[in-house]
Amino acid sequence: MFAKLGLHERLLRALNESGFAEPTEVQQQAIPAALQGRDLRVIAHTGSGKTAAFVLPLLQQLLEQENSVPATRVLILVPTRELARQILEDVQSLARYTFFKATMLIGGEGFREQAAELRRVPDILVATPGRLLEHIESGSFPAGEVRWLVLDEADRMLDLGFAEDMQAIIQACHNRQQTLLFSATSGRQLREITQNLLVDPAHLMINPQSRMGDATEHQFITAESAAHKEQLLGWLLANEQYRKAIVFTNTKAAADALYGRLRAQGVRVFVLHGDKEQHERRMALQRFSQGGERVLLATDVAARGLDIEGVDLVVNFDMPRSGDEYVHRVGRTGRAGEQGLAISLIEHLDWNLMSSVQRYLKQMFAKRVLPGLKGGYHGPKKLKSSGKAAGVKKKKNLKNKPAKKNVRRPAAKPALVSDDGFAPLRKK
């Protein structure tokens, strides 16, 4: 029960009305450690409830200092606009019985309007790195007032090239008293930031990204071409039982092309990627969340952090390039104990990628064949012990091999030998 974590009654009331009955594992471990005032380094996969794991202790500490001078004391830094909007909604929901104000700073919206909002001194700010740094440099955001700094999806921020922006923001928040860093993965660059940023942190590895739960079933279907993939996808969207589905591609161009073909087939679908205008992205997520369209076509901009209720099917039209990306995509389904299905469409060049993901997850995917769409490619004929395709060695064609020319070489000069017959003599 959340009451055992020592949370304020206002927060408990908000949790109860939001339908939160029992804390998740990450919440059970992170909330008490954060309430002790310690820096945290938390590795937890998407869908584990980590947003509430840092929002609740921050609200609790704000309540304990409720009569303090007005200032923006909490900064939550996130990699994408979609995640910022979602976290802002979570903060506002959990803070509904407090007097704390929260706002967000993201790209694609008016700078002057945002500066005016900052002059109202929100207690909590959710921001993406690029736009936040612009406000810090222009003087419209006093970063020195920040006491609690949260880096959510820190690994994703590094993946998106925000390392320098992150460092500049961290240095600007020089009066912080507590820093909480959450990520789904760990790498050398992130470990270096952790060492430089956190002071005597508590390290919590709740559920690493390479260990996925049993709530999601993993399948693959072999495809002989891109056109065959489209046929397979069309069958799945028409016949598979699902409430909401997300289809992932690796590029924006592929997403746009596939969107046009699906719409031509009468599939109600929205597309989401980085080139879309902010209002288009907001509308796509809103309509998809509310069930206006059951299919969302997206690049990896939508893979991390988003918690859309009811997604029970994920299709990898393009196989992700790493195990981490697979986890973040498939993490959209099988959440909160519900069952989910992840299906990857595999051409011959995708096989080794899938094999690497299976080894990363320590989990084999079930092969599936759709009725009437078997195709000509069924996987490699030979496999290595790693599961990757075994290459065919080319045999030497001796018949067509040109004969060696008989080239006469000059005779070797006799070596000069000493009288004992062993040591060579040097010329004087």
Whether the CB-CB separation of 219 and 365 falls below 8 Å is answered with yes
pTM to 2 decimal places: 0.70
Q: Is 192 exposed, middle or buried (0-12, 13-18, 19+ CB in 10 A)?
A: exposed
- Whether 65 contacts 49, CB under 8 Å: no
DSSP 155-218: HHHHHTT-HHHHHHHHHH-TT-SEEEEEES---HHHHHHHHHH-SSPEEEEEE-TT---TTEEE
Contact indicator for 101, 76 with CB cutoff of 8 Å: no
Burial 331-350 (b: 16+ CB within 10 A, else e): bbbbbeeeebbbbbbbbeeb
Confidence at 328, pLDDT banded by 50, 70, 90: confident
3-state secondary structure of 189: helix
Residue 35: predicted pLDDT: 95
More confident of the two residues 381 and 84: 84
Give tens-digit pLDDT for 19-75: 888 898 899 999 999 999 999 999 887 667 889 999 999 999 999 987 788 999 999
Q: What is the pLDDT of residue 415?
A: 47
Mean pLDDT, residues 371-385 = 86
Domains located in the chain, CATH noted: 2-207 (3.40.50.300), 216-367 (3.40.50.300)
- The SS3 assignment for 201 reads coil
The pLDDT, as a whole number, for residue 397 is 55
| Burial tier of 66 (Cβ tally within 10 Å: 0-12, 13-18, 19+) | exposed
Neighbours of 351 (CB within 10 A): 20
Least confident stretch, 96-105, 126-135, 320-329, 351-360? 320-329
Alpha helices, H only, 291-393? 323-330, 351-361
Compute CA 29 distance to the chain's CA centroid, rounded to the nearest angstrom.
22
CA 136, chain centre distance (Å): 27
pLDDT at 417 over 70: no
Residue with the bigger pLDDT between 323 and 427: it is: 323
Tell me the pLDDT of the chain averaged across its residues.
85
